[in-house]
Chains A and B, each alone.
Chain A
Amino acid sequence: MSNELDYLSRRVAAGKLSRRDFLGRAAALGVTATFANSLLSSAVRAAGPVKGGTLKAGLQGGESTNSLDPATFLSQVPFAFGKCWGETLVELAPGGGVEYLIAEEIGSSKDAKTWTMKIRKGVQFHNGKEVTPDDVVATLKRHSDEKSKSGALGVLKSIDTIKADGSNVVVTLKDPNADLPYLMADYHLIIQPNGGNDKPDAGIGTGPYKVTVNQPGVKHGGERFANYWQADKYGHADQVEIVVVNDPTARMAALQGGQVNMINRVEPKIVDLVKRLPGVKIRAASGRGFYPFNMFCDTAPFDNNDLRMSLKLAMDREEMLTKILRGYGEVGNDMPVNKAYPLFAGDFEQRKFDPEKAAALYKKSGHSGSILLRTSDVAFPGAVDAAQLYQQSCAKAGIKIEIKREPGDGYWTEVWNKQPFSLSYWGGRPTQDQMYSTAYLSTADWNDTRFKRPDFDKMVLAARGELDEAKRKKIYRDMGEIMRDEGGLIVPFFNQFVDATGKGVEGWVDNPAQELSNGHALIECWLQA
């Protein structure tokens, strides 16, 4: 029987049998529809990508203020379009680790201070020029220049020198850092001819698609680049197109009406309805983004760990997850990292809602009166509701929370990182080191919980320079524990990226790094007839 099914599924994949006929025959052979469907999709994948057609995405997160200069990338549309026309040295592989693109291999000296990156030969820019180590050096220098406005500047601050050496690029660091390959995967660091110094927004890279349409905030388009170096892996559709659709309902309608093949940011509250639509598939991938409640550890009353702990225990994470994210996420554990990170220890004890213990600790802290929590719609989708839910669960522990709803305008300048107790979001970082360095070092500009502990800083630096993975993992485990029990952040949940694809879109790979399969959806998916 299975031989026959195999044969039939291959015939569907080859386009010689219709999907409906196949499901009918499978049913006749006594196979459930679910199993038959999964058999079919694996056969489609095995048959390999189908070339041709135009793949269209309707995405949120594009503004008429966008530019093609990778240094300015901030929102989702430039990010996703950047993956179409440009490539970085390496990429974050779906299963953790790195995928080598323009760099063929990356090695380090024993002290993790000098890194040598071998540049792949025969990779061509859209203007016909071949990528040289000099282009790579110029790109890295442009982004690490103090005068640059690059979003990758913070990531590259630790670089001391960048030099070309034959077919290699050698980077030396001020301090040891075992994570350098991950830093090179930053989406701003698209390799451009002469580093983009001549015309930063020319849109010329080494990606599978050449830029043909660039109307910021409206539409972007590309056509397949004939000399792309790994055409078997990426760039299956003849053309790709991104239409900026910022309204969620309009996005859904465009997918349903067949005007686009994929969309991002499906609202959790409509996911269950969307699932029932014929041909539409929900692509949910757990990621590294989370929505914290930030307390300033150096400001009264939050300078008291008993109070902080009571506020953590008064959080009903399960309820939050079901009501705010409709289950499209994972409960948090009051630390800024989760299992989507490399070197994450999986054996932490999960913090649970415990009103009695919270009440006892609250009493012990000696604080009385209400606590002011600031929130806003822009903190994250559902942030105002989340604050209200938290207010109720705190009431069960006898803690009075007063909510102040702040205007969205200026929330990131006036409230976040300025007020002692507020809601925020973090998109996550590729490595634990980057996450901790960005927001939990005493000296970090974005230390939005004012967590200042010299012993913790030392652990961050020790882990960063440690090339022995087992030892690093142990240090990260200890750091996670300190964060959870003494830190200033309450993490109700980590969110998932919820995207959706329409009829005939195949080849999707879940990737925890970013939404839309880390922005690769348009270049790795294809249209099955």
Chain B
Amino acid sequence: MSSPILRLVAQRILLGLVLLFAVSVLIFAGTQILPGDVAQAILGQSATPEALANLREQLGLNDPAWLRYVHWLWGILHGDFGTAQSSGLDIASSISTRLKNTLFLAACAAIVAVPLAVILGLIAVRYRDGFVDKLISGLALASTSFPEFFIGYVLIFVFAVHWQIFPSISTVDDSTPFLERLQAVVLPATALTLVVLAHMMRMTRAAILNVMQSAYIETAELKGLKPFDIIRKHAFPNAIAPVVNVVMLNLAYLIVGVVVVEVIFVYPGMGQYLVDHVAKRDVPVVQAVGLIFAAVYITLNIVADIAAIVANPRLRHPK
């Protein structure tokens, strides 16, 4: 490895950090202009004026915004996200359990979805425009087109109510043994897999087909290689960059965008946690979760960029 590639990678990471900082400013500013009042939202319809006044004072809602931002950022840099205003619990420790759950579910879905999508994409290219290609594309697009909650309900109806082989409630906690945990996430992970499959599969197919137009593929064909070997050895390595990009986007989605699936399967992940606290205007939690989600997105994008750089032979072997 020589300098240009290292420099590019370092550049990407630095850019990511700057971006993360900018996002932190945006998140903080955004939560400041939310309508409504935190104290009122916490107490709900049954708020009495006395309780409201006391709560406002206690939450320190009277400090200027920039001061609160500095305090907040300083805390986060020391791993302290503060305490939730609504329940008084430490945010970092409540998030860690939930983040673990979310990552576990995302990992389970990804382990199935990513290889499946890529393999299906390869098969679709091999039999392009034939019956198999159309069948794969059709089914994948259909499963993506159904809303997540519908897929979830169908899975619940078939596997939890009718056959009763998997639980419809996927509640897990720290003490749940690994196998039980796996059993609990089967249905939500399946739903998520069905949702993200088509996007990755179609992208793999398109990227490889693009490469298949190149002259060197023709050469490979002419020297008598089998169609699958051409795709595997010559076409796919050159199509990795766009595929990795779309895979990373979908992984990010699996981590930050699954609140509907969480609600339906009663899975204690980050999404539900965020929604609860948004509803209560619990600003510290919303900020913390927002920042974590932003970090996930930025990290995965950096990984995609780096993968693209590393996969590029011209950058790997500079003259």
Contact = CB atoms under 8 A, between A and B. Distances in A.
Contact of B40 (A63, A65, A150, A413): A413
B265 A217 contact: no
B160 A244 contact: no
Contacts of B160: 253, 257, 259
Given A148-B51, A150-B51, A256-B161, A74 B46 contact: yes
Contacts of A387: none
A504 interface: no
Contact of A247 (B36, B44, B49, B264): B264
Contacts of A218: 171, 173, 266, 268
Contact of B87 (A66, A148, A244): A66
B282 interface: yes
B279 interface: yes
Contacts of B273: 64, 217
Given A74-B46, A253-B156, A253-B168, A410 B51 contact: no
Interface in A20-76: 58, 63-67, 74
**In which size bucket is the chain B interface?**
35 or more
B46 A151 contact: yes
Interface string B87-119: 111000010000000000000000000000000
B168 A64 contact: no
B27 interface: no
Nearest to B49: A445
Interface in B254-309: 263-266, 268, 272-273, 276-277, 279-280, 282
B43 interface: yes
Interface string B145-169: 0000000010011001100100111
A149 B88 CA distance: 13
Contacts of B54: 146-149
Given A64-B94, A64-B276, A65-B276, A409 B36 contact: yes
B240 interface: no
B142 to A, nearest CB: 22
Contacts of A243: 169, 171, 266
A442 to B, nearest CB: 16
A67 B89 CA distance: 9
Contacts of A149: 43, 51, 54-55
Contacts of B89: 67, 216
A256 B167 CA distance: 11
A131 interface: no
Contacts, number: 117
B37 interface: yes
A276 to B, nearest CB: 14
A268 B36 CA distance: 32
Nearest to A151: B46
B129 interface: no
A523 B273 CA distance: 29
Contact of B171 (A65, A153, A216, A219): A219
Given A65-B84, A257-B161, A153 B50 contact: yes
A290 interface: no
Nearest to A259: B169
Contacts of B45: 412, 416
Size bracket, chain A contacts: 35 or more
B87 A67 contact: yes
Contacts of B169: 58, 243, 245, 250, 254, 259-260
Given A65-B282, A243-B169, A216 B36 contact: no
Nearest to B48: A154
B164 to A, nearest CB: 6
A160 B281 CA distance: 35
A258 interface: yes
A64 B272 contact: yes
B235 to A, nearest CB: 44
B268 A250 contact: no
Contacts of B44: 74, 412
Contacts of A146: 50, 54
Interface in B40-69: 40-46, 48-51, 54-55
Nearest to A438: B46
B35 interface: yes
Given A64-B277, A65-B282, A146-B50, A257 B168 contact: yes
Contacts of B156: 249-250, 253, 257
Given A218-B173, A250-B264, A65 B280 contact: yes
Interface in A196-252: 201, 213, 215-219, 243-247, 249-250
Nearest to B88: A67
Contact of B164 (A201, A245, A257): A257
Nearest to B36: A410
Contacts of B31: none
9 contacts: A64-B277, A65-B84, A67-B87, A151-B46, A153-B50, A247-B264, A249-B156, A250-B263, A259-B167
Interface of B: 35-37, 40-46, 48-51, 54-55, 84, 86-89, 94, 153, 156-157, 160-161, 164, 167-169, 171, 173, 263-266, 268, 272-273, 276-277, 279-280, 282
Given A64-B277, A215-B173, A254-B169, 5 more contacts: A63-B280, A64-B272, A67-B88, A149-B51, A153-B51
The 9 A-B residue pairs with the shortest CB-CB distance, nearest first, are A65-B86, A63-B276, A218-B268, A253-B168, A64-B276, A410-B36, A257-B160, A253-B156, A149-B51
